[in-house]
């Protein structure tokens, strides 16, 4: 299983990049528009990778942000949402906007994404209802820290409560502070 790719960005399209590694191999990686906008040709890059292997394909999906990768992988768990639709969501919504739309059950936010209709929007909200963080009063950093704590297995209610009392401004520092308070 590939978890990250590090190399020189040799080719860039809006949602697809080619990275040449030191070993001489070049990898084609699908990326979101947000990720693509932060990449420049001939720069050294490292992308977190979600690899999807099917009987007729082996695709890499790359992310600069671990939280965007978590959002992508969460969307793949929804019935009827494949990698293309999940990547379209990652290209259309920032991570914090995604969780705000999920928390407020905002179907219209999801329906603005290409490939998402009313049924798919409802399905996303219903199937991911247990993933809804209460981030209405959270900064983007606290929302990302909450998602990190949820991915570590902490309950949403307890993690939200602890993060509300945290004072750090950086995502990693918020997670560390919250973990100390949770232990």
pLDDT at 95: 86
Residues 159 and 124 reside in one and the same domain? no
Last residue of one domain, picked from the residues 35, 63, 91: 63
Residues 25 and 56 reside in one and the same domain? yes
Label residue 130 by pLDDT band (50, 70, 90). low
Residues 21 and 35 reside in one and the same domain? yes
Q: Is 14 helix (H, G, I), strand (E, B) or coil?
A: coil
Cα 155 from Cα 132, distance rounded (Å): 11
pLDDT at 132: 53
Cα 60 from Cα 104, distance rounded (Å): 31
Residues 71 and 123 reside in one and the same domain? yes
Residues 54 and 90 reside in one and the same domain? no
Residues 56 and 70 reside in one and the same domain? no
Label residue 96 by pLDDT band (50, 70, 90). confident
**Residue 95 · residue 146 · CB < 8 Å:** no
pLDDT at 131: 59
Residues 112 and 70 reside in one and the same domain? yes
Residues 55 and 74 reside in one and the same domain? no
- State the pairing for strand pair 4-13/57-63: unpaired
CATH of the domain at 22: 2.40.50.140
Q: Which domain holds residue 146?
A: 140-182
Label residue 140 by pLDDT band (50, 70, 90). confident
Q: Taking the model in full, what pTM does it have?
A: 0.73
The contacts of residue 71 (CB under 8 Å, 6+ apart) are: 89, 90, 95, 98, 99, 147
| pLDDT, tens only, 13-58 | 999 999 999 999 999 999 999 999 999 999 999 999 999 999 999 9
Label residue 103 by pLDDT band (50, 70, 90). confident
pLDDT at 162: 86
Label residue 137 by pLDDT band (50, 70, 90). low
**How confident is the model over 109-130, as a mean pLDDT?**
89
Residues 106 and 87 reside in one and the same domain? yes
Give the chain's domain count. 3
Whether residue 101 is predicted with pLDDT greater than 90 in this model: the reply is: no
Instruction: Give the tokens for residue 142.
Output: 């606290």
Residues 59 and 70 reside in one and the same domain? no
Residue with more model confidence, 72 or 146: 72
């Amino acid at each position: 299983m590939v978890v990250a790719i590090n190399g020189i960005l040799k080719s860039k399209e809006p949602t697809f990049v080619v990275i040449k590694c030191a070993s001489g191999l070049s990898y084609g990686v699908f990326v979101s528009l947000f990720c693509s906008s932060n990449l420049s040709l001939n720069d050294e890059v490292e992308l977190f990778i979600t690899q999807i292997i099917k009987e007729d394909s082996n695709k890499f999906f790359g992310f600069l942000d671990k939280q965007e990768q978590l959002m992508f992988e969460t969307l793949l768990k929804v019935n009827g949402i494949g990698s293309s639709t999940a990547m379209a969501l990652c290209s259309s919504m920032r991570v914090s906007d995604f969780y705000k739309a999920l928390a407020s059950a905002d179907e219209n936010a999801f329906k603005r994404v290409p490939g998402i209709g009313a049924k798919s929007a409802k399905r996303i909200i219903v199937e991911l209802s247990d993933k809804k963080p209460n981030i209405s009063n959270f900064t983007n950093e606290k929302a990302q820290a909450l998602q990190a704590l949820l991915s570590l297995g902490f309950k949403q209610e307890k993690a939200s409560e602890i993060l509300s009392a945290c004072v750090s401004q950086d995502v990693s520092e918020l997670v560390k502070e919250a973990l100390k308070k949770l232990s």
